[in-house]
Structure 1
């Protein structure tokens, strides 16, 4: 046993360990990025095609084998076309510099303010709402199942979407890349039997989504006019404007940017 570990130490360099760790991190980040999107189904499709390729080779199905060879010869180009949204999102995240307050970050701080004001207004009117903030886990499937909006985030837009007279007031809005991507989105309902019986459909939907993804969800209760924030299956209820903003800044990693901006403006 000791000889086995001694041999491993002799064979493996520190660079090899770093290389393995780096590959594991990249694979994990890619899987996290494509979870909840059509990319999962597409990768399954690629797996089936790969099985078809080896089957055609073994069974000597020359025409099918030739077609699949051409497919794999152009695989890189095909992957870039198919996964262009995911690649764009990944490059955007990699390109973010955490040490400087960019124009995008200032825009995100403004979006948080708009969301908080809209939630407060809706709560005051006892109008129910579900506001989903996409983070690293893709929500493309939920976005495409709703009504595509693709509009700049604003307090007025959010309030108007959830107004009872709006045809898309049921369901959730999903904010992606600092824009309202879709409205009227249906979220998975949590089936946890231990949940409080008083929790309505909106709260259970928020819990259901956040148990499956890393999204942040703001819930406005129609019955109580109460604002809640849900993340990773945990719910913080009955928040005021200040608490809501603090929670969103914390969960979205914007707290340090706001502090930096306040110090900059104070000088």
Structure 2
């Protein structure tokens, strides 16, 4: 059958180029498709979209200059290309950094290579319930709060902006920290595992223009923190008492206890899966050393 098809192509397909497709070609197309898709999503969600629009307009002018033989404009464009590319990298350095961080957060990487084997990021059910209890207790009396639940990305640089702590998470401690006119109430706390590691931390503010104007600095800081890390950030509004959650640059407003519990359980399950992979890898290494 294959020889018949080949003979037919040789006889009637003169001049027709049919490339041979190998498995590596398919893998290459899939990789390029994934990278192009990620670049498009990144461009859509950052100020790079404005840069792309500017580049398209500039390319249109250069195309007109080429059509009408405007040699001076073409000369300037050729000699400015390198400078403009460097300037774009400098101006959009934060967005480029976020894009690389998001690429590094993809879960298929952690499933293949168990990075940072010694880090324990899972928190207990008691910690989860204490966070929920404290958030809605503060919401009832309209006490503002900002709680960052750390995941895979270690938040050392933001931890150092606050006051170092080392205490177990409990609803009473959380309520006391964010009580009005107390030394630690201003800023965010960072929760790592079952412990509060820092308070009064400064978080990066999001420059997302799509955030509602009726939200204050606390919510903008929560979104900003979720943009530069994989942390789950919980906010309690001082004006309305509503509890909101920011993750992956998206803010979910006015959630109830059940919804917050689901969000925290997702973090627990993700951490548990990561730790399970680490344990399997560690056991495999011990077994390999024993056999050697």
Q: 1:206 maps to which residue?
A: 222
Cα distance in 2 between the residues matched to 1:168 and 1:184: 6
Q: 1:157 maps to which residue?
A: 173
**Equivalent residue of 2:118, what SS?**
helix
Closer, same or farther: CA 213–223 of 1 in aligned 2, 3 Å: same
Contact 1:228 1:238 in 2 (8 A): yes
Closer, same or farther: CA 242–5 of 1 in aligned 2, 3 Å: closer
TM-score by length of 1: 0.57
Q: How many residues align?
A: 171
Contact 1:126 1:223 in 2 (8 A): yes
Tell me by how many angstroms 1:92 deviates: 3.3
Cα distance in 1 between the residues matched to 2:270 and 2:126: 11
Give the RMSD, CA atoms, in angstroms: 3.0
Contact 1:249 1:255 in 2 (8 A): no
TM-score by length of 2: 0.53
Tell me by how many angstroms 1:2 deviates: 6.2
> Which of 221, 224, 239 pairs up with 2:255?
239
The reply to whether residue 177 of structure 1 matches residue 193 of structure 2 is yes
Instruction: Provide, for residues 134-178 of structure 1, a one-character-per-residue CA deviation record: whole Å limited to 9, x for no partner.
Output: 111110011111001111111111110000121110100000132
**Equivalent residue of 1:164, what SS?**
coil
Q: Which has the larger radius of gyration?
A: 2
**Equivalent residue of 1:90, what SS?**
coil
Instruction: Provide, for residues 96-142 of structure 1, a one-character-per-residue CA deviation record: whole Å limited to 9, x for no partner.
Output: 8xxxxxxx96x521111000000011101100000000111110011
Cα distance in 2 between the residues matched to 1:239 and 1:161: 22
Cα distance in 2 between the residues matched to 1:203 and 1:32: 22
Instruction: Provide, for residues 34-81 of structure 1, a one-character-per-residue CA deviation record: whole Å limited to 9, x for no partner.
Output: x9xxxxxxxxxxxxxxxxxxxxxxxxxxxxxxxxxxxxxxxxxxxxxx
Q: 1:220 maps to which residue?
A: 236
Tell me by how many angstroms 1:251 deviates: 3.6
Gaps of 5+ in 2: 1-17, 26-99, 105-114, 274-292
**Equivalent residue of 1:166, what SS?**
coil
